Amino acid sequence: MMHTGKNAVVGDVAIDLHPFIRKYNDGRIERILRSSFVPPSEDPNGVARGVATKDVVIDERNGVSARLFLPSGAATDAHRRLPIVVYFHGGAFCTESAFCRTYHRYTTSLASRAGALVVSVEYRLAPEHPVPAAHDDAWAALQWAASLPDPWLANYACPDRMFIAGDSAGGHIAYRTAVRAGRESDGGGIDIEGLIIIQPYFWGPHMLPSEMAWDDDSDSTVMKLDKLAKFWPFVTSGQAGNDDPLIDPSFDEVASLNCQRALVAVAEKDFLRARGRRLAALMRDCVWAGAGGHNVTLVESEGEDHGFHLYSPLRATSRNLMESVVQFINQSAASPRPRPWPASVVPELHGEYPTSSRARNVLLSVPTRPYHAVFLNGLDMKARPRRCPSPMAITNAFTPSQDKKVSKKSFGLFLAGAKPNNLNASKGPLSASVKCLWKFIPT
């Protein structure tokens, strides 16, 4: 839920970055976008979806911590270790939390649906802790997760299946963490299988052609042009401007990413859409993207704005976006070969993206199963080759529900007792609301 300060005097505002944060002339900070704290629960039988959660300290000196999300099914398959997803929440670098209701429910959903052990990171926020504090905290969190220091990670996780993910500012942080893993001398030991960035925040000193043509209707978009230009100077406490290479990735930097594949998700009505599409285009021409750039996927949600999947999680577009992320995490060589789109539906790149004949190999992502497991207790564990050894003897601390029926009690992912209109909405051809715009076939 969004809360806004109704007693603020406009004349007292030094900088207004609504709907995220305001800073007043007297130094007060008002965080507008926020949601209530949710406590963890290590008993999967006492919470919906059978996902146990607990909080851990990563760096006591800097106050870096995380919430772990462990699906109950982890204890029932002695031959399966879980992928690790290190997740960074959004909130313009200055608000929201890994422990708030918005992100607790989203990462619970992700852990349940993907069958992954999620490490949701609580990093320091600006302006009290200017960027790059968040980048440093993210790097510490990745190193911590890769070392498997917690029993849940040691007993259930597969260190060779490491994913870095985030949305909005968290998408930016996830990207910067992958870049650092490719450059740091002590980052070579962390093998990152996948990078997932959803509606990431990037900017630059000059507007792109599509941004200049954008109709910035103040009532229809979350991210406003007049606010976007102020964010980076604000969260860096004036130490960097919009010409900072940290928010305007170069091809050389993208090429240095330490990951095997990447997924970039954008929303049609999000002003940051062009930056996400540009980043995906840079990625596809990198060596690590593989022949034809087939290791890079761009997903676009039609008719949606920034953060829609967090605040309208039961909407078909949100479910389809989650399905794309889940399929990306659980991708295997046995996955069906996607089919190409006709060239007529490919957007013209103009000078905004690198030109390449591969830009015509566009695929439609089609979910292979109905989107419903996230609403049920228990996981859809598909067999796939594993690179990790079997876990050590695991206690029966987690007992998944044996009831396969969909009951009112089984629902409540985000709204207690609220059943989606159609659990099988994504069966068959994918709704036009989500299109996998760039996923390249090896030549």
pLDDT in the model for residue 47? 57
115 CB-near residues (< 8 Å, 6+ apart): 71, 73, 82, 83, 330, 379, 380, 381
The bridge status of strand 192-198 relative to strand 261-267 is parallel
pLDDT in the model for residue 20? 86
pLDDT band at 293 (very low <50, low <70, confident <90, very high): confident
The bridge status of strand 296-301 relative to strand 261-267 is parallel
Catalytic residue among 168, 301, 324, 426: 168
Q: Is 431 a catalytic residue?
A: no
pTM for the predicted model, two decimal places:
0.77
* 63-67, 125-129, 338-342, range with the lowest pLDDT: 338-342
pLDDT band at 4 (very low <50, low <70, confident <90, very high): very low
Could you read off the pLDDT of 379-396 as tens digits, one per residue? Answer: 233 333 444 544 433 333
| Average of per-residue pLDDT values in the chain | 75
Query: What's the rounded Cα separation, in Å, for the pair 217 and 220?
Result: 5
Closest CA to 266 of 299, 297, 296, 295: 299
- Among 10-24, 35-49, 314-328, top mean pLDDT goes to 314-328
pLDDT band at 213 (very low <50, low <70, confident <90, very high): confident
Query: Between 353 and 212, where is the model more confident?
Result: 212
Contact by Cβ (8 Å): 161, 193: yes
Q: What is the mean pLDDT of residues 340-363?
A: 37
Taking 50 as the threshold, does the pLDDT of residue 347 lie above it? no
The bridge status of strand 13-17 relative to strand 21-24 is antiparallel
Beta partners for 68?
54, 119
Contact by Cβ (8 Å): 307, 103: no
pLDDT band at 27 (very low <50, low <70, confident <90, very high): confident
